[in-house]
Amino acid sequence: MKFIDEAIITVESGKGGSGCVSFRREKFIPKGGPDGGDGGRGGDVILLATSEKNTLYHFRNKTHFKAPAGRNGAGKNRSGKNGSDLIILVPPGTVVQDLDSNQILEDLVKTGEKIIVAKGGRGGKGNAHFKTSTHQSPKFSQPGESGQTRAFRLELKLIADVGIVGLPNAGKSTLIRAISSAKPKVADYPFTTLVPILGVVYPKHGDPFIVADIPGLIEGAHEGAGLGIRFLKHIERTRVLVHLIDAAAVNPSNAVAAYEMVNRELFSYHPALAQKKQLVVLNKMDLPDAEPCANAFEKAIRPVRPIRISARTGRGIEALKDIIFKLLQGACS
């Protein structure tokens, strides 16, 4: 299934049913009074976050939604049936924005959270409501109220505890395969990962946590270069960032250039990203040239102490999982 994280939808709530004009017509009661019932309320349109959805793909071909109308009232003071509410399912992490005002209405983070985005029209009153001492036989009723038509922009921001960031070919996909059950495509060319990948990590002790492999950043990503701004938003909710670096690709004469560039892109997109806890990890330590390059990087980045791993061979993976778990515990305190 294709990953889609943005959609524009139009919703229309149900029209209220009309009230009824009716008079009692029973044997031996020649002048029965008004008995027209009320119209039913139109159905609301509700957005509901559910774990059944993990993308906005289901809006690719269907973008207009309409709730049922309320039924008209009837004689003998019978009220019309209310229109049923229309519930639209969205994945947790969906931000709902009104297109007319550009206002963010809701951020549906947790499963079960919901928002009424269009209220159904009120049902009209039947003529029984309008009988007075001076007006015994009202021959009118209220029409049902129209429903609301509104347009929204839905934006999905993945909910993950940990975001793995770094340049293309840093080994992010290999790492997420090594520490979780996720199976992203792995190859040696830029932008192998075209969509964010989520994986669940089970540490030796403590609760599992979710990691997101964010597609590779390049210079100018915050302005849309490369895969750019489309996927930077998916690390906004994370509590810890794992900054993965290809140790063998480090240039000893300017060892932290790539590291600083990625951090600039994060800050330029949203300054709050620079405040997140960040674990620096040197990957591909199994390659022949990695050791001297890693030494040069560590010397340039002091007092930060990177973790050395090889996602391909499994070196340092268990220790890395434990360190990430402890960082998450600290982020919660």
pLDDT in tens, 190-205: 544 456 788 889 888 8
Three-class DSSP labels, the chain: CCCCCEEEEEEECCCCCCCCCCECCECCECCCCECCCCCCCCCCEEEEECCCCCCCHHHCCCCEEECCCCCCCECCCECCCCCCCEEEEECCCEEEEECCCCCEEEEECCCCCEEEEECCCCCCCCHHHHCCCCCCCCCCCCCCCCCCEEEEEEEECCCCCEEEECCCCCCHHHHHHHHCCCCCCCCCCCCCCCCCEEEEECCCCCCCEEEEECCCCCCCHHHCCCCCHHHHHHHCCCCEEEEEEEHHHCCHHHCCHHHHHHHHHHHHHCHHHHHCEEEEEEECCCCCCHHHHHHHHHHHHCCCCCEECECCCCECHHHHHHHHHHHHHHHHC
* The predicted structure's pLDDT at residue 54: 85
Q: What is the arithmetic mean of pLDDT over 253-258?
A: 93
Structure tokens at 24: 């009692």
Report the percent of the chain where pLDDT is more than 70.
88
pLDDT at 275 over 70: yes
Residue 21's pLDDT band, with cuts at 50, 70 and 90, is very high
pLDDT at 32 over 80: no
pLDDT in tens, 220-241: 544 444 444 566 777 888 999 9
* The predicted structure's pLDDT at residue 194: 56
Q: What is the arithmetic mean of pLDDT over 254-269?
A: 89
The strand pair at 162-165 and 240-246 is best described as: parallel
Measured distance CA(38)–CA(129) in Å, rounded: 9
**Taking the complete model, does pTM exceed 0.95, yes or no?**
no
* The predicted structure's pLDDT at residue 221: 43
Q: What is the arithmetic mean of pLDDT over 311-330?
A: 93
* The predicted structure's pLDDT at residue 55: 87
* The predicted structure's pLDDT at residue 314: 96
Measured distance CA(157)–CA(104) in Å, rounded: 14
pLDDT at 109 over 90: yes
Residue 304 and residue 266 in contact, taking contact as beta carbons nearer than 8 Å? no
The strand pair at 307-308 and 6-12 is best described as: unpaired
Structural domains of the chain, ranges and CATH numbers in brackets: 1-156 (2.70.210.12), 162-332 (3.40.50.300)
pLDDT at 316 over 50: yes
**Residue 315: C-alpha distances to residues 25, 105, 198, 266 (Å):** 89, 46, 22, 28
